[in-house]
Amino acid sequence: MNEQHIFLVGPMGVGKTTVGKQLSGLLHRPFVDVDAEIESRCGADIQWIFDMEGEVGFRERESKVLAELVADKQPKVIATGGGIVLSDDNRGILQASGLVVYLSATFEQLVERTKRDKTRPLLQVDDREAVIKQLIETRSPLYHQVADLVFPSGSTQPLKLAKKLAEAVSAL
Ligand code: S3P
């Protein structure tokens, strides 16, 4: 197990970055956030990339970063963006390159956790709840498809969840 990357997948607002940072500390391995990596390579934030290149351009960057990250074999904790599972290729890479943990949450929890969000382009719409509902419907099966482990994250304190995850991963 120790030789594998650990990927955190799941919807926007579920806490992948926060839990991932805690988990990386507990497991003493580097943490990488795919969104942050895209932004630092591009020198612009995600909203700018969506504005200039559309979602298609963003997805290309996302796939490229994922492929490059897994090419480096040093085991890491990798937090992914909520839409990474949309691409067949990305799903194949995730499944082939490490342990995939799906952090899940209910519709109500996601609505609550994203209600003040101003940075995620897909959520800057009038009817945010409709978008969240639709994303859950289309993406939940894809998260399940790639996941080795599923952890409900919605109401659990991040450090507590990270500790549970570290235990589960270490027991494998
Ligand atoms: C997206 C999720 C975001 C980010 C981008 C698109 C999505 O990441 O990649 O805004 O399609 O769900 P987080 O899940 O980390 O918010």
Residue-wise pLDDT tens digits, 59-92: 999 999 999 999 998 999 999 999 999 999 999 9
Which residue has the CA at smallest separation from atom 8 of ligand 1?
Answer: 81
Q: How far apart are CA 42 and CA 2, in angstroms?
A: 31
Interval between CA 26 and ligand 1 midpoint (Å): 25
Predicted TM-score (pTM) of this structure: 0.97
pLDDT interval class at 1 (50, 70, 90): low
Q: How far apart are CA 30 and CA 19, in angstroms?
A: 13
- Ligand 1 is surrounded, with C-beta below 6 A, by 12, 16, 35, 46, 81-83, 120-122
Question: Quick one: which of 39, 129, 34, 136 has its CA closest to 84?
Answer: 34
pLDDT (0 to 100) of residue 155 = 80
List, in order, residues 6 or more apart from 141 with CB less than 8 Å away.
Answer: none
Query: Phi then psi for 39, rounded to 5 degrees?
Result: -65, -40
